[in-house]
Amino acid sequence: MEPALGSARPEPLPCMAIAGPGGVDDAIAAGLDLDGTPIPAEMISLYKEVMDLESQRARSGVKKSMRNRIVKTGSKHFDQQTLDARLKAAGWEGLKDKEIAFFYGA
């Protein structure tokens, strides 16, 4: 049955299914937040500007960048002792005091 004229419901916004490391990038490229609301153009513009500047920055080493990413992301998934032990077992330096304070609030 068709709704009466003027009583039609608005179309729902599409939601973004985020999975994997590229999921957030896909959502940003689509200009949509996870709930389907548009991301303001000013936010997208600033994000792109900063990411472009970051892409031009000289790197100090791949292993150092890998460790930084592991600490940043791993702190969301592992407790402090587990992440520290895993870093050491892989051949990296364990968690630094400043990383513990920042990521674990200790």
Same domain, 50 and 66: no
Contact 19, 38 (CB under 8 A): no
Helix (H, G, I), strand (E, B) or coil at 86: helix
**Helix axis angle, 62-74 relative to 80-89, nearest 10°?**
160
Label residue 62 by pLDDT band (50, 70, 90): very high
Neighbours of 12 (CB within 10 A): 7
- Which residues share a beta bridge with 32? 38
Same domain, 52 and 70: no
Same domain, 42 and 73: no
pTM of the model: 0.66
Give the total number of structural domains in the chain: 2
Q: What is the pLDDT of residue 22?
A: 80
Label residue 4 by pLDDT band (50, 70, 90): low
Question: Residue 6: inside a domain, yes or no?
Answer: no
Domain holding 39, by residue range, is: 23-56
Question: Residue 11: inside a domain, yes or no?
Answer: no
